[in-house]
């Protein structure tokens, strides 16, 4: 399959900072074809991720470790938190912003943040099924179990058994939880 005219043009301009400064405003994913130096330019990458968070995939490793860049990317597309550096996967501000938009990012979060009350509550409110990646302490907490099961019944009933199985044994046998499950 032949490359599109836009890709050909981007490749031909791979070292042209001005070209990418403008083109990412219209088609941010063309940043893929920029030189390493341009993909390490914070201003250009910030502009790209504000429009399409997925452009973060093509940013330099240095910028995937830049909190400002990550916050902008996850605000636009929460799932892009998966491209974060390990340092930022342990940054509460970044992960909290990401799970507001896509609870699935809890899967990538550090163990410390999988045990953080605010992060986990926000993640399960966005995507109850993700509760299975919370820490054991929170999966054994009745308040969180009730939130996950209640929201699971409302939002994703077909996955309710998976959510229920992620609870601790104590919570699986809890009368309140069982009553919620009965609907």
The pLDDT value recorded for residue 31 is 98
Residues 95-132: pLDDT tens digits? Answer: 999 999 999 999 999 999 999 999 999 999 999 999 99
Residues 15-74: pLDDT tens digits? Answer: 999 999 999 999 999 999 999 999 999 999 999 999 999 999 999 999 999 999 999 999
* pTM score, whole prediction: 0.86
85-118 b/e (C-beta count within 10 Å ≥ 16 → b)? beebbebeebbbbbbbbbbbbbebbbeebbebee
Per-residue DSSP letters for 22-68? HHTTT-GGGGGGS-TTGGG-HHHHHHHHHH-GGGGGGS-TTGGG-HH
Report d(CA 65, CA 56) in Å as an integer.
Answer: 11
Q: Band of the pLDDT at 1, cuts 50, 70, 90?
A: low
Q: Quick check: 38 and 31 in contact, CB under 8 A?
A: yes
Asked if pLDDT for residue 2 goes beyond 80, the answer is no
Residues 137-158: pLDDT tens digits? Answer: 999 999 999 999 999 888 878 8
């Amino acid at each position: 399959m032949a490359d599109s005219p836009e890709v050909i043009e981007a490749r031909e301009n791979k070292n042209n900072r001005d070209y990418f400064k403008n083109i990412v405003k219209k088609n941010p994913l063309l940043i893929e074809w920029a030189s390493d130096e341009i993909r390490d330019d914070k201003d250009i990458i910030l502009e790209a991720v504000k429009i399409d968070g997925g452009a973060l995939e093509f940013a330099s490793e240095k910028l995937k470790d830049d909190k400002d860049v990550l916050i902008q990317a996850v605000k636009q597309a929460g799932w892009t938190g998966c491209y974060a550096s390990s340092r930022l996967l342990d940054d509460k501000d970044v992960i909290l912003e990401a799970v507001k938009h896509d609870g699935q990012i809890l899967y990538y979060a550090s163990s410390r943040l999988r045990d953080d009350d605010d992060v986990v509550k926000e993640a399960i409110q966005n995507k109850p099924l993700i509760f299975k990646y919370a820490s054991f302490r929170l999966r054994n907490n009745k308040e969180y179990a009730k939130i996950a099961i209640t929201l699971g019944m409302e939002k994703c009933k077909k996955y309710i058994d998976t959510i229920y199985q992620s609870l601790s044994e104590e919570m699986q046998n809890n009368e309140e939880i069982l009553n919620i499950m009965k609907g």
